[in-house]
Amino acid sequence: MSKTLIRGAKVLGGEPQDVLIDGGTVAEVGSGLSAEGAEVVEAGGKVLLPGLVDLHTHLREPGREDSETVLTGTRAAASGGYTAVFAMANTFPVADTAGVVEQVWRLGKEHGYCDVQPIGAVTVGLEGKKLAELGAMHESAAGVTVFSDDGKCVHDAVIMRRALEYVKAFDGVVAQHAQEPRLTEGAQMNEGVVSAELGLGGWPAVAEESVIARDVLLADHVGSRVHICHLSTAGSVEIVRWAKSRGIRVTAEVTPHHLLLTDELVRSYNPVYKVNPPLRTERDVLALREALADGTIDIVATDHAPHPHEDKDCEWAAAAMGMVGLETALSVVQETMVDTGLLDWAGVAERMSFTPARIGRAEGHGRPVSAGEPANLTLVDTAYRGPVDPAGFASRSRNTPYEGRELPGRVTHTWLRGKATLVDGKLT
Amino acid sequence: MDTQDPQPPPTSHADARPVLEAPDIARVMTRIAHEIVERAKGADDVVLLGIPTRGVFLARRLADKLEQITERKVPVGSLDITMYRDDLRMQPPRALARTEIPGDGIDGKLVVLVDDVLFSGRTIRAALDALNDIGRPRAVQLAVLVDRGHRELPIRADYVGKNLPTSLRETVKVLLAEEDGRDTVLLGAKQTPQ
Amino acid sequence: MQRHLISAADLTRDDAVLILDTAEEMARVADRPIKKLPTLRGRTVVNLFFEDSTRTRISFEAAEKRLSADVINFSAKGSSVSKGESLKDTAQTLEAMGVDAVVIRHGASGAPYRLATSGWIDAHVINAGDGTHQHPTQALLDAFTMRRRLVGRDAGLGQDLNGRRITLVGDVLHSRVARSNVDLLHTLGAEVTLVAPPTLLPVGVETWPCEVSYDLDSTLPKSDAVMMLRVQRERMNAAFFPTEREYSRRYGLDGDRMARMPGHAIVMHPGPMVRGMEITAEVADSDRCTVVEQVTNGVSIRMAVLYLLLGGAEFQTAGTPAAPARTAEEN
């Protein structure tokens, strides 16, 4: 197999070094490495990170191929610097059987842009009533370890308890979409000053926080680990912080959009800002950034949620919830965490690669950039700054809240096991 | 409503020349009153309707003079023609002025419309349309302080204070004490936009 | 005034007073033998109703017809409009027909705003009530009714409602009428108090430019106008209040309570009234209750809004004052 020499890259933001890829692995990291027989990529001070890992992606296939497919979704992932994504189970049919998860897993392998690790549904049909065959999905070729009813909350306390207990047998984890359903009936946006004015149904913070509180206590009680999806409120941060201080095995994710955007944007009634959980307040945003910096929140996950144009080109109430995120995630993290001084690039690698890979047990991902490790790498031009142009997205959908917004950072190269999936910003 | 207009008037009074002063205006109003009495054979059924803004003040002045001559109260009111204008779409929406029809109405009466300046005739056309929606007068006549010519419609005045031949590059501005603090008619040059 | 009327919050004090003054002149048309003006001849106005509301629709229709507009009524209720794209499709259909204004009633908050700002349509948009957001012409007709009763028909011209104490009682949470009224009455200088059980007040109400009270009896003696909001019986099932009887006892307006109001104070209701729930028949039928006047005034207000939005040329800039009634020269 071929060799690639990445010359003068700031590995995890450190001093410029050369990185030699030989075949599927990193052969050598050092200064003045020989370029003999290797294709040379002049990094010129760009930052080299381990390939990013997204624990929360909606690839929509099977069932909603009009909004995304495994192919378009993994191309979008490679564009954004990702080498592995976890595909959520809310497809049609729901990924609640070994058959569906294997299909998604195989599609990812075939296309080869990015490893696709399916997430299995916790309950049959995401209905919250009956446990899906979690063991069968784990034992399938897809080797599912993360289970989630994302999009819906596993709101029944007994089902949640059983799921937490059951997955212990194979070191699985339940990723909870924390949303108390009764408190969010008709919910359209964050409940607060803005919702009161706009007359849109409120999605109160307590509907998230009460479920997180219950689930960390359940995880503690049954000695299992639990993962909290898209944590969005300052109150949730406090609960997770308390749980971690008690030694409860909880991990949590935050989305890029919750690190940057607030519910003030909803005043435009533009459904591009409609997302679940909803955009919260400035106070929440600042608490989330702080929690991501201090480790209370473990990782950034995109909740990449593609929707076709017509599902957003309508009135607010009729619009679908969600935003695409794979191709802008790193830029938003640089804007909100790195350029603000809250996090260095090593910290970004921790939260967008090492830790999500560890939570999801993604073999070969989230590894250090050192000799002998799989060459899953991403090269970022951190000096770049420019407006977001959805027309250039690899994703099939364009529902980004950042259109036209100036953001820093651009992924120029991505390597999946030594094979370049993105070169000079272009997919291979 | 002109008083609420924050914009400067289209003509600068400074370079305008008075063509009628207060005593002239008083005199022609008296003359018009006499002409109305004469032509209306005593003015028993006359109703004066002024067209806002300044036509209303002129109508009230005429009513006072008619009362002096005939020793009878002459009904006087106002007729806002804004909603009947043919150039509504050429300017931003205008604030409405008051239409006040005297208690006995206008049916079967001799309505004398009163306005300050007669120019294109379009205002009077609008006033006739407005009258049509309010009642059926026996006859309609028109009294104006100044007729400056340049008619665009087949309309003429029955009573004219002063015929004032003008060019289209000139402006005629009537100032009345009730609205402007003094009585005068000014002839000025239209300001050409830069 | 802007191109559209979406929210009462968009109106400045001068905009609002101009609308009320214009409505006062429009009201006089109703006293004439021919209740019609040629002003909007050749203009097409569509009443696009995604929600049933006969009274609002016929009020707009009467206003449009009195101004000689061509009126198209489009009731989208019952057709396949549950899917969002139909608003866009419908808008583009109307655009293709060359309509000048769309009067829209929609169950989704923000739908008129989307219609006005999404580029689907060039027509003027007038919000006839959207979800639980806004109902600006209702607020205007309420303010008009208050100004007539509390300041005077002629004395009110050019005036606002400075210092008047207005109390709104009932289901504020689900009420677009309450939101519009709080915005407009505040702009007009009134002191607004909301009275409701805490369950029927939105979280965030504390930032509104008004007072909030849970106690009706202590508020009534300090009110120049009391507006009772409709309370739907279904709210009871969602535990907003225990029973109809308890609601009426604590927040309903009956004769005894009305007697606690100052002698000049009026009782208002946007209709339709739920007699026996928020208001007793005795109060509803008393001469202090302005419900019927409000309906009459609604037509005048809507004529004024239609005239000011459609009666002239397009504004160059927002906030352009209306031209004087006539320029000094004859046209």
Has residue A292 been placed in a domain?
yes
Interstrand relation of C211-213 and C225-228 (parallel, antiparallel or unpaired)? unpaired
Return the CATH number at A379. 2.30.40.10
**pLDDT digits 0-9 by tens, C3-47:** 999 999 999 999 999 999 999 999 998 888 889 999 999 999 999
Q: Give phi and psi for A345, each to the nearest 5.
A: -70, -30
Q: Are C173 and C132 in contact (CB under 8 A)?
A: yes
Q: Of C93, C65, C59, nearest to C79 (Cα)?
A: C93
The tally of domains found in chain A comes to 2
Q: What per-residue confidence (pLDDT) applies to C86?
A: 78
Window 284-343 of A, Cβ < 8 Å to C: 310-311, 313-319
The last residue of a domain, from among A360, A393, A410: A360
Percent of chain B scoring above 70 in pLDDT? 91
Same domain, A391 and A322: no
Reduce the DSSP state of residue C213 to 3 states and report it. strand
Tell me the Cα Rg of chain C: 20
Domain membership of residue A283 (yes or no) is yes
Question: What one-character-per-residue DSSP string does chain B give?
Answer: -GGG--SPPSS-GGG-EEEEEHHHHHHHHHHHHHHHHHHTTT-TTEEEEEPTTHHHHHHHHHHHHHHHHHSS---EEE---GGG-S-GGGSSPBPP---B--TT-STTSEEEEEEEEESSSHHHHHHHHHHHHH---SEEEEEEEEE----SSS---SEEEEE----TTEEEEEE-HHHHSS-EEEEEEPPPP-
pLDDT at B194: 46
For C66, the token pair is 């009195």
Residue range A234-252: mean pLDDT, rounded? 98
Select from C39, C315, C329 the Cβ nearest to the Cβ of B88.
C39
Domain end (from A329, A360, A391): A360
pLDDT at C88 over 60: yes
pTM for the predicted model, two decimal places: 0.90
Contact A301, A255 (CB under 8 A): yes
Residue from the list B10, B89, B129 with its beta carbon closest to the beta carbon of C327: B10
Sign of CA dihedral C165, C170, C174, C177: negative
Residue A237 sits in the same domain as residue A100: yes
Q: Is C125 on the interface with B (CB under 8 A)?
A: no
Give the pLDDT confidence of A78-103 residue by residue, as tens digits.
999 999 999 999 999 999 999 999 99
| For range A298-313, the mean pLDDT | 96
Name residues 102-121 of chain B within 8 A of C (Cβ). Answer: 115-120
Look at residue B13 in the predicted model and tell me its pLDDT: 61
Nearest to C65 by CA among C88, C82, C40, C90: C40
Q: List the domains of chain B with CATH numbers.
A: 21-168 (3.40.50.2020)
Tell me the shortest Cα–Cα distance from C38 to chain A, in angstroms.
35
Whether A368 maps to a domain, the answer reads no
| Cβ distance of C132 and A191 shorter than 8 Å | no
A298 and A405 in a single domain? The answer is: no
Confidence label for B1 from pLDDT (cuts 50, 70 and 90): very low
Q: Give C118-159 pLDDT, tens digit per residue.
A: 999 999 999 999 999 999 999 999 999 999 999 999 999 999
* Mutation to test the A interface, candidates C171, C203, C206, most A Cβ within 10 Å: C203
Average pLDDT, chain C: 90
Residue of C nearest to B9 (CA): C328
C113 at interface of A, judged by CB pairs closer than 8 A: yes
Residue A170 has what pLDDT?
A: 95
**How much is the mean pLDDT over chain A?**
97
Q: What is the pLDDT of residue C31?
A: 85
Q: Regarding predicted confidence, which is higher, C323 or C24?
A: C24
Q: Are residues A93 and A208 in the same domain?
A: yes
Position B76 pLDDT exceeds 50: yes
d(CA A38, CA A58): 37
Q: Does residue A150 sit in the same domain as residue A279?
A: yes
Q: Does residue A17 sit in the same domain as residue A94?
A: no
Q: Contacts of residue C118 in chain A, CB cutoff 8 Å?
A: 313
Taking a C-beta distance cutoff of 8 angstroms, is the pair C179, C138 a contact? no
If asked whether residues A319 and A207 sit together in one domain, one would say yes
Could you confirm whether A344 is annotated as catalytic? Answer: no
pLDDT of residue B41: 83
Report all structural domains of chain C as residue ranges with CATH numbers, in order of start: 8-134+294-310 (3.40.50.1370), 136-291 (3.40.50.1370)
Asked if C203 and A192 come within 8 Å (Cβ–Cβ), the reply is yes
- Collect all residues of chain B within an 8 Å Cβ-Cβ radius of residue C27: none
Say whether the C–B interface has 3 or more Cβ pairs within 8 Å: yes
* Cβ-Cβ contacts under 8 Å, C108 against chain A: 315-318
Which of A195, A318, A319 is facing C204, going by the closest CB pair?
Answer: A195
Rounded to an integer, the average pLDDT of A91-118 is: 95
Q: Which pLDDT belongs to residue B31?
A: 97
Residue C127 and residue C180 in contact, taking contact as beta carbons nearer than 8 Å: no
User: Which residues in chain B are contacts of C15 at CB distance < 8 A?
Assistant: none
Q: Which of A54, A303, A311, A381 is catalytic?
A: A303
Residue C327 has a pLDDT of 42
Residues A133, A11 within the same domain: no
Cα(A421)–Cα(A295) distance, integer angstroms:
31
Whether A395 is covered by a domain: the verdict is yes
pLDDT score at B3? 35
Say whether pLDDT at B14 is over 80: no
Please tell me whether residues A264 and A197 are part of one structural domain: yes
Instruction: Please report whether residue A305 resides in a domain.
Output: yes
The one-letter amino acid code at A357 reads: A
User: Are A263 and A339 within one domain?
Assistant: yes
From chain C, the residues in CB contact with A308 under 8 A are: none
Nearest to A375 by CA among A7, A15, A29, A14: A29
Q: Do A301 and A339 sit in the same domain of this protein?
A: yes
User: Would A199 be classed as within a structural domain?
Assistant: yes
A191 closest CB neighbour out of C117, C134, C203: C203
Structure token digits, residue A13: 């933001």
Task: State the average pLDDT over residues C78-102.
Answer: 78
Of B92, B116, B174, the CB nearest to C320: B92
User: Does A85 share its domain with A150?
Assistant: yes
Question: Is the Cβ–Cβ distance between C297 and C313 less than 8 Å?
Answer: no
- Picking from A231, A255, A257, the residue whose alpha carbon sits closest to that of residue A178 is A231
Nearest to B47 by CA among B172, B137, B157: B137
Ranking A152-161, A274-283, A318-327, C272-281 by mean pLDDT, the lowest is C272-281
A 166-195 residues with CB < 8 A to C:
188, 191-195
In a domain, A366, yes or no: no
Q: Which domain holds residue A176?
A: 51-360
Phi, psi values for residue C266, rounded to 5°: -115, 160
CB-CB under 8 Å, C311 with B88? yes
